Structure 1
């Protein structure tokens, strides 16, 4: 089964893709952001369901739906629009559109509508048994930035998936989860600073700024989309223990950096965000190892240690670049490990001071210098 999604907001497109895959795990989903590309894709590959935004950069999505309807009178069509009023619906009545998705949408309602329109998937025989042994480091080296992700905590993932099924989840709960879950924080920061939502506004680096920009419904939708996207949770006991250690380290750094920022009269929110994300590379490696294990592989302690040492740095760089995290936030994350050689901002000195204080063997001379740079002595 093949589903085509024509949507220029890449976050909404990915969200719809995850909904489709949650309903039909074997589906092939093609996401396109221009009408011309979608027309060519339809002519070449066809589809079993077409979902299209109304307004695209190179014209109305109705051009695609009209072409599809000329070729196929029965194929289910879905329109994404911010104008589902009666006049707009009547305007495209002749296309026989089966469902309208109004932005911002309720994911559970969208899932219910799509489930009725998607054809059933015939299960293929399970071929996972007898998987060949594969080298973990070689596997990790083949991953592209688009394949990298951070693991949601099991509790957060469960809450978000329950909300997808209709259970209530308010913004206060989302905000509380944000404070303790790097994957959720990074995802929402990335969305809020993307071209789809930021415009020319200044970068968002804190929870309050992000939630104000995205709004409640969009924030919940993007968070739930992340939960749907993740096919693995850290079920391996060793991986889970390592993740908890990295999360604890992030929490301690967040708490100390906030304390120091307040002593200096600075906004602590960006430092909290940076501290929460400063172990993203290690967490990403653990998530990829879990996905590798889910395919029948068996990581051992030595392999996991080597994977973290070799890939946590490159994976963190790749994620920050792909998600286009604000440069100010990247600088704060980098300051958890050291200071730049150029002029040093107070916020960076505070960040490195907090990290240095929590080191196993703090360097007292370094701490004294950092306190001076931060204006604390």
Structure 2
């Protein structure tokens, strides 16, 4: 089964890819960002379903659909548009489009629509398993868009409940404020070329929600719920994650106190604290995926992956999500201070992390407090 998605908004394209994979795990999906690239992809190999945005950088998506209809009168076509009014629908009536998806779309409706239009799953061919011989190989072989963080226990049900209601910024903020996976995704999207105005970067969940709007924010958050390992199921992995989340919350609380004492904006510090364990959380989610595919993973192997691969995985996530440099610097300050041009926020970040470390150094803490202006 093959699906072509033509959408220049990387976040919407990724969400549609996740929706298709959640409905048909075996589907091969090709995402294209221009009409010309999509036309070339169609000529190279046809598809069983085409999802197409109306407005693309190099022209209307209808150019692709017109070419497809000349060659195939049966393939289901789905048009994504912000203008699903009667006149627009009549304008493309000759293309016999099977469904229109209006932006920002409602996830349940899109799931139902695509489930009806996608061919039935071919049960005679089981989903392919990883060719990796061990978890370390599996982890290093994962594409960047396969990496993410798990949701905390209970968040998945709350997120799905939100998806059944009109999008509400206050509810999204309340759910995402202490949830690393949601905050990371929304910050990444808000700072992307599709949504950033090119001015001030978004460093807090509040800023991200205002930039993206309620509908888009909810859709991006709901995309996390489509991951088969959205929440950790294995007790061992849950315990590891709970320990990380507890440390994150303790750091957030201490940073709030220090920010108040230093009269600093606590929001960027809070975001960085939420994300400073992203590598370990991502490794735990990948471990759940590995076990879900029928493989064994000992505690020793898991421990080795957490200690040896977390930093590299975190670096890959930061690059893939294009997290802004000010946020990366604050996250890095949890572990070490830059040698030059050290900002006060970074000093406070490092002070809080050092206070909560396994072996606090009183002399170092006193020096950091002086640098932060607290003594």
TM-score bucket (shorter structure): over 0.9
Instruction: Report the counterpart of residue 157 of structure 2 in structure 1.
Output: 158
Instruction: Report the counterpart of residue 39 of structure 1 in structure 2.
Output: 39
SS in 2 for 1:30: strand
Superposition deviation, residue 232 in structure 1: 5.2
Contact 1:4 1:29 in 2 (8 A): yes
Instruction: Report the counterpart of residue 174 of structure 1 in structure 2.
Output: 172
**Residue 285 (1) aligns with residue 283 (2):** yes
Contact 1:151 1:287 in 2 (8 A): yes
Contact 2:259 2:348 in 1 (8 A): yes
Q: How does 1:330-345 map to 2 (within 5 A)?
A: 330-345=328-343
Q: Distance in 2 between matches of 1:89 and 1:128?
A: 39
Contact 1:20 1:27 in 2 (8 A): yes
Q: Distance in 2 between matches of 1:157 and 1:187?
A: 15
Contact 2:132 2:138 in 1 (8 A): no
Instruction: Report the counterpart of residue 139 of structure 2 in structure 1.
Output: 140
SS in 1 for 2:52: strand
Contact 1:54 1:81 in 2 (8 A): yes
Instruction: Report the counterpart of residue 297 of structure 2 in structure 1.
Output: 299
Instruction: Report the counterpart of residue 311 of structure 1 in structure 2.
Output: 309
Deviates more, 1:29-38 or 1:131-140: 131-140
Give the TM-score taking structure 1 as reference length: 0.94
Q: Distance in 2 between matches of 1:316 and 1:133?
A: 21
Q: Deviations over 1:287-322 (max 9, x none)?
A: 111111112222112111111111011111110111
Q: Distance in 2 between matches of 1:95 and 1:143?
A: 38
Contact 2:224 2:230 in 1 (8 A): no
Q: Distance in 2 between matches of 1:20 and 1:185?
A: 24
Q: Distance in 1 between matches of 2:152 and 2:32?
A: 31
Superposition deviation, residue 168 in structure 1: 6.6
Contact 2:35 2:59 in 1 (8 A): yes
Contact 1:339 1:348 in 2 (8 A): yes
**Residue 93 (1) aligns with residue 93 (2):** yes
Deviates more, 1:137-146 or 1:255-264: 137-146
One of 312, 319, 340 as aligned partner of 1:321? 319
* Structure 1 pair 106–132 and aligned structure 2 pair: CA distance change class (3 A): closer
Deviates more, 1:142-151 or 1:360-369: 142-151
After superposition, the CA RMSD in angstroms is: 2.0
SS in 1 for 2:75: coil
Aligned residues: 375
Q: Distance in 1 between matches of 2:32 and 2:348?
A: 44
* Structure 1 pair 271–287 and aligned structure 2 pair: CA distance change class (3 A): same
Q: Deviations over 1:182-229 (max 9, x none)?
A: 111111110110001003121101011011111111111000012113
SS in 2 for 1:154: coil
Q: Distance in 2 between matches of 1:363 and 1:79?
A: 60
Q: Distance in 2 between matches of 1:353 and 1:127?
A: 48
Instruction: Report the counterpart of residue 197 of structure 1 in structure 2.
Output: 195
Contact 1:151 1:230 in 2 (8 A): no
Q: Distance in 2 between matches of 1:311 and 1:111?
A: 35
Superposition deviation, residue 122 in structure 1: 2.5
Q: Distance in 2 between matches of 1:324 and 1:158?
A: 29
Superposition deviation, residue 137 in structure 1: 2.2
Q: Deviations over 1:334-363 (max 9, x none)?
A: 011111100211101100111111122211
Contact 1:128 1:295 in 2 (8 A): no
Contact 1:275 1:333 in 2 (8 A): yes
Instruction: Report the counterpart of residue 117 of structure 1 in structure 2.
Output: 117
Instruction: Report the counterpart of residue 224 of structure 2 in structure 1.
Output: 226
Instruction: Report the counterpart of residue 51 of structure 1 in structure 2.
Output: 51
SS in 1 for 2:154: helix
* Structure 1 pair 84–30 and aligned structure 2 pair: CA distance change class (3 A): same
> What stretches of structure 2 of length at least 5 have no aligned partner?
none
> What stretches of structure 1 of length at least 5 have no aligned partner?
none
